[in-house]
Structure 1
């Protein structure tokens, strides 16, 4: 077993676990582990009573774990997986929490996480206690799809426990119970995020959750300096980026793709007025634009907007927009009346020059 680098286990219906904790050390060179269709398996590593010391033995080189169609599996993560960089979990229907709080310092090297079609998952990261020092994670990509009962990706704001500042790509699809995507501290340090896709999350209200306990009264600044693609599809309760007064910086944004977001006021996304953001008289209950046109729109290469329910409220604002003048070689899918506004604005601008 010492030279084994890849282990694939499929359709072994009688297995209740794959490894005992005492044999983990025998797989020193294992890099790839894939388990699927093992109907009786409840855990990957069985803890043996009286062998607590053996828990410290790690898979020294294990980097990738794939788990598929494991309907009796109750535990995914073990301390022995601290070297793992990629975890894919699909159709494991007894999992409720992917990373329990007892494991919260053991997945710091994880770079790619994919959890799909797990019917009973309620939380991805369960966090329960503060650390003396906040630990940085290496997580870069998260894909979540088909978790109907998912209520929170993080059970609490991870500030002071873990930082997720290396996130580059976040994909969230078909999570009917999720109301918010990012805790406040995570969103405040997402400067490396490039891709953000949220699709078919019927109860999603905002991207960033409010801080429940905060002494800071100043409007927060969210700096998504590398965000190039924002895709929002079929978010029927979605109202904006953050419920309270804030400033959002996305200087690298190239693609905005908004489809079926009936409650989203368009001017929160495409308003040209930056003064409203800094107006001290603005009520926090009123919607405010998350984007400042002068900073974001000039870099757009593709703009798609297909949600007509509130266009009328912002038509007068869009009459003053000139940001689409440079769209000669770019792609824009817009409503008929908006195209007329843009054409009129462009024509007037050219005549002025």
Structure 2
């Protein structure tokens, strides 16, 4: 796209028929000049009420993006593909809500749109090094947020809120390729300050198997209406909060 390169934030809503942002982009113009606006310098992107959107973007490197909010995208099955993650090192806030068909936040790259399990090499390269805030709400087909092997790629995560996701089984999911020798059994989220799990009728554990999590800086923990949750939250001898799977 040609035109302005200094567009920093954009809110796009109610775009029926558009399946990704590239289709929307051809309609974004500067009213003064008539030139198309470039999305490449975006720092904040809000996408709301895209009933036909299947993917957010293809082929765009949004390396300056710090905030992404996605709401009411009924056909969206995933937010990112594994190849997109490397360009999102500045992402600080990720907020996803009311995406009924969302099955994965990150899916393997695949042209035929069928979601595939991430390989071991994919998992080793996935991280959001600056992600501070993650909120997920009303995504009823989502089984987990990320594979457990990816937890070490969230070193700055401070706020994690998950609510009203009826089929969620765990915050972190099982990595089918992992073994006890390539994933640490004790995982640390060093900057976590606030953890909220609310109205999750299907959640069984925070993380699968024998993985325990430590939150050395946690200040607020709220677990509400999670009747099947077996994970035990407790304070360690050094004052850290831990989540221990049974």
Q: TM-score range by the shorter chain?
A: 0.7 to 0.9
1:138 equivalent to 2:90? Answer yes
Q: Which residue of 1 aligns with 2:102?
A: 150
Matches within 5 A, 1:83-232: 83-100=41-58, 102-103=59-60, 106-127=61-82, 137-156=89-108, 157=118, 158-159=122-123, 162-214=126-178, 216-217=180-181, 219-232=184-197
Tell me the SS of whatever aligns to 1:188.
Answer: helix
Residue correspondences, number: 217
**Cα 1:249–1:258 shift into 2, 3 Å:** same
Q: Which string of whole-angstrom CA distances, capped at 9 and with x for unpartnered residues, describes residues 212-264 of structure 1?
A: 22355254332211111111111111111211212312011111111110101
CA contact (8 A) 1:136 1:162 kept: no
**Cα 1:161–1:294 shift into 2, 3 Å:** closer
- Unpaired runs of at least 5, structure 2: 26-36, 109-117
Q: Please say which of residues 111-120 and 204-213 is displaced more in the overlay.
A: 204-213
Tell me the SS of whatever aligns to 2:178.
Answer: coil
Q: Which residue of 1 aligns with 2:20?
A: 75
C-alpha distance in structure 2 between counterparts of 1:228 and 1:99, whole Å? 31
Question: RCO greater where, 1 or 2, for CA within 8 Å and sep 6 or more?
Answer: 2
**Cα 1:257–1:109 shift into 2, 3 Å:** same
The counterpart of 1:269, out of the listed 215, 226, 232, is: 232
Choose 1 or 2 for highest CA Rg: 1
C-alpha distance in structure 2 between counterparts of 1:228 and 1:140, whole Å? 15
Alpha-carbon offset, residue 120 of structure 1: 1.0
Q: Which residue of 1 aligns with 2:7?
A: 62
Two-structure CA RMSD over aligned residues (Å): 2.7
Alpha-carbon offset, residue 162 of structure 1: 5.0
**Cα 1:121–1:228 shift into 2, 3 Å:** same
Q: Please say which of residues 117-126 and 206-215 is displaced more in the overlay.
A: 206-215
- Unpaired runs of at least 5, structure 1: 1-20, 29-59, 273-291, 299-313, 315-353
Q: Which string of whole-angstrom CA distances, capped at 9 and with x for unpartnered residues, describes residues 127-180 of structure 1?
A: 369x9xx55611100110100110001003554655312110001000000000
Alpha-carbon offset, residue 184 of structure 1: 3.4
C-alpha distance in structure 2 between counterparts of 1:258 and 1:136, whole Å? 30
CA contact (8 A) 2:64 2:88 kept: no
**Cα 1:185–1:62 shift into 2, 3 Å:** farther
**Cα 1:243–1:215 shift into 2, 3 Å:** closer
